[in-house]
Structure 1
């Protein structure tokens, strides 16, 4: 039996060896495939977790931008309100009116309504309307009583003529001041929103890349990239590992809040004077005309065509020139060991400032700024002024921000100009100090704002990481639709706030403008779908 078995194995040893080999090879292949599938599952799970963490970090960054804007805006608002004292002009007019009533022996301003309308009656009604609509009283301005300034009725016609001229000048100053103040605050809110988005998203990107470098240079002690925001737990690691540089970089918003606002105000004031200067305080104005005049002001400030708006330069309002950078650091309380701490071309602060300048001078910045201003002016003109001054009922609870901002309004009764000025005077406080701030909320509903922030957050990775570490293992090369692309080894895609994944290629030849075009093209495709 044993011999027969041996003979059988000897005769069939070749088929048996082949069978054992096949079975062994199949087992090895099966284990290899199962291992690859398991690795792929782990990799997919890790990528999904990384994308979710990065998405949450990005969304938290945008919330930080909102709170930062709300914290910084009152500083600029106080400067603008101090410069354009609309309420003080209002009560100087009230003081003159009260003095005239005392000279004429009129006991109460209400007695003016008993006779037929006249120039004096119109002034009184305009003054009363402006005071009641704005909700500010003379006692809040610290203006002395008008009765003490009254002269006797023996003053001649020359004094009366001088008084009328002074009153006319005050009314004109009030007109320019109230319109300029509300418009300037809208420009400041839009500029501060964009500047804050650029700053915090650049620093948020540095925080992520700092984790990449730590993983690449720290050995195997850390197996995953830290994407969670623990800035509040460890201030020294806020937005990366160079807290002092980041603190100085954020300080440069001081320029817009303390210097740039005045340049913006002067530009807006010149446009308002040119457009609204011919209007008399006794004129009636329609909603359509006010909308058209508002558009004319914006054309003079921003540009009348798309090409002019894209070519517009806002950098001088947002950041200081190089020779003023050390001055800004000193004025904002930063101490520098070297007078040229900010101007050195090799420091991280210099790179951040240069990239910020490039972003501000880019056409996408002007495009998004125009959309933010569209939303702000739509809230002011089409909602507040139209509803409160012209008594136009709202057409929709949720305005369409993609529709034309200033629409033609017909069959609406015109109102006196002081009624519109009163609304603008009151809305200026809402723009600068409103809680909640409806104007900031309307601007943040602009889809391109988040797309702009996403492009800032996800572009130029290789440029930022090169000064940190020259290890080429941090990046891999792959073939893309437009040629070879250099991408970080960790996934960099993330979900935008509208539920769409951002498709931004990070390549050696990619630029901010090309990434922006791809993001806008994808956003338009998603909207059409």
Structure 2
């Protein structure tokens, strides 16, 4: 038996060896393939978790932007309200009416407080509508009542004879002030919304890239990138590891809140005077006419053509010139002592993180996508003011939809409605100015945030220009790879992309924005 077995093995040793070789090779290949499949599954699982974490972090960033705008907007609103005192002009008109009634003895002093001032009966009705529609009384401004003013005028006859502006001048000032104030608040809100999106998304990107660099240079101690900030008291984790730089960078919104709005107001005021200046307070104005005049103001402020809007420069309203940067830091409380000789630009001899953030912010503001998105935000703001509030409250146009589509093309043909007196429209504008600046909830901010291109703009800011942040973070000679799949949920990605990219191949902001717009257009067609 043993001998026969030996003879069999001897005769067939070659086929048997080949068979064992094939089986062994098959086993090794199978184990290799199974290992690759298992590794791929683990990698896909990690990528999926990272994408989900990045998506949640990006969405949280946008919510932070909303709350930040709501927190900062009242500061600019108070400054604008203090500069354009529409209610005080209204009170001066009431004072003149009180003085006239006191001199002529046409009414008791107790009736003076409720009687609207006027030059003619028509003006009286206009003033009454202005006061009732705006819902603002002198007592709400901390001003004396009209009856108290009448008593004061009786006690001091010299105050009555004191040189004052005529009622026509006051009405013209009221017209320009109420329109300018509402329009300026819309521009300020749109600019603040975009500036905040840029700032917080740049800092959010720094946080993400800081985690990437930490993972790449620190070995494989952790298997996933930490993207979430669950500790409210840990700002470093939320926006990178340079908390002081981030604080200084965020304080540059001070410029728009305290200086930039005024430049915007002067530009808007000049356009309003040119467009609305010829209107008389006694004129009837149709809704279509008011919309056309509003569009004319926008053309003068933003540009009449698409090319002019793209070339429009908004940087001077949002960030200070370099020689004023130290001044902004001082005024915002970031620098305890700044001497006059030290009010110079932040040193650029060594490219500091703050300098990089400010330079990139300036580039983003000067980019064509910024002007494009700003135009869409202003469309949403003016649509809410003119097509909804004024149309419904002044012209009694019934709402067409509870949830209007702000991304749809704006309807230029306006339903033919009965014209109304200009003071009625001014009254709505006076009241809406408070809603734009201090509304709770703020319908104008909500309308702007419904613009899809705003989130696309934020996503491109969040995911572009990786190398500018990674290069100073990473050690020299180290290779840092950014998982491209993790940005697929934020920025529309083209099919067939690799799973990872080197930071040196990252596209510019403009090309990334172009791809995002192209993908969005394809989505609309589909």
Give TM-score, length-normalised by structure 2: 0.91
> Is the 8 Å Cα contact of residues 201 and 457 (structure 1) preserved in structure 2?
yes
Q: 2:150 maps to what in 1?
A: 147
4+ residue segments displaced more than 6 Å: 108-112
> Pick from 517, 524, 527: which aligns with 2:521?
524
> Is the 8 Å Cα contact of residues 377 and 451 (structure 2) preserved in structure 1?
yes
In the alignment, structure 1 residue 343 sits paired with structure 2 residue 347: yes
Shift of 1:516: 0.3
Instruction: Supply the distance in 1 between the matched residues of 2:407 and 2:220 (Cα, whole angstroms).
Output: 50
Instruction: Supply the distance in 1 between the matched residues of 2:213 and 2:326 (Cα, whole angstroms).
Output: 30
Alpha-carbon spacing, 1:110–1:131, altered in 2? closer, same or farther (3 Å)? farther
Q: 1:395 maps to what in 2?
A: 400
Q: 2:269 maps to what in 1?
A: 269
Classify the secondary structure of the residue corresponding to 2:310: helix
Q: 1:483 maps to what in 2?
A: none
Instruction: Supply the distance in 2 between the matched residues of 1:341 and 1:175 (Cα, whole angstroms).
Output: 41
Shift of 1:502: 4.8
Q: 1:384 maps to what in 2?
A: 389
Shift of 1:106: 2.4
In the alignment, structure 1 residue 511 sits paired with structure 2 residue 516: no
Deviates more, 1:11-20 or 1:227-236: 227-236
Q: 2:115 maps to what in 1?
A: none
Q: 2:445 maps to what in 1?
A: 440
Classify the secondary structure of the residue corresponding to 2:418: coil
Shift of 1:97: 1.1
In the alignment, structure 1 residue 425 sits paired with structure 2 residue 430: yes
Instruction: Supply the distance in 2 between the matched residues of 1:449 and 1:171 (Cα, whole angstroms).
Output: 39
Alpha-carbon spacing, 1:502–1:490, altered in 2? closer, same or farther (3 Å)? closer
Classify the secondary structure of the residue corresponding to 2:120: helix
> Is the 8 Å Cα contact of residues 322 and 345 (structure 2) preserved in structure 1?
no
In the alignment, structure 1 residue 354 sits paired with structure 2 residue 354: no
- Which structure 2 residues correspond to residues 147-296 of structure 1 after superposition, within 5 A? 147-148=150-151, 150=153, 166-230=166-230, 232-296=232-296
Shift of 1:236: 3.7
Q: Structure 1 stretches of 5 or more lacking a match? A: 113-117, 477-487
Classify the secondary structure of the residue corresponding to 1:227: coil
Classify the secondary structure of the residue corresponding to 1:18: helix
Q: Structure 2 stretches of 5 or more lacking a match? A: 113-117
Q: 1:480 maps to what in 2?
A: none
In the alignment, structure 1 residue 466 sits paired with structure 2 residue 460: no
Q: 1:19 maps to what in 2?
A: 19
Alpha-carbon spacing, 1:509–1:238, altered in 2? closer, same or farther (3 Å)? closer
Classify the secondary structure of the residue corresponding to 1:224: coil
Alpha-carbon spacing, 1:474–1:337, altered in 2? closer, same or farther (3 Å)? farther
Deviates more, 1:444-453 or 1:399-408: 399-408
Give TM-score, length-normalised by structure 1: 0.90
Alpha-carbon spacing, 1:376–1:236, altered in 2? closer, same or farther (3 Å)? same
Instruction: Supply the distance in 2 between the matched residues of 1:336 and 1:26 (Cα, whole angstroms).
Output: 74
CA-atom RMSD, angstroms? 2.6
> Is the 8 Å Cα contact of residues 375 and 405 (structure 1) preserved in structure 2?
no
Please give the per-residue CA displacement for 1:88-118, whole angstroms capped at 9, x wherever unaligned. Answer: 1011101111221233332279999xxxxx9
Shift of 1:473: 5.2
Instruction: Supply the distance in 2 between the matched residues of 1:527 and 1:194 (Cα, whole angstroms).
Output: 24
Instruction: Supply the distance in 2 between the matched residues of 1:22 and 1:509 (Cα, whole angstroms).
Output: 47
In the alignment, structure 1 residue 416 sits paired with structure 2 residue 417: no
Classify the secondary structure of the residue corresponding to 1:279: coil
Instruction: Supply the distance in 1 between the matched residues of 2:151 and 2:233 (Cα, whole angstroms).
Output: 61
Classify the secondary structure of the residue corresponding to 1:393: coil
> Is the 8 Å Cα contact of residues 202 and 457 (structure 1) preserved in structure 2?
yes
Classify the secondary structure of the residue corresponding to 2:406: coil
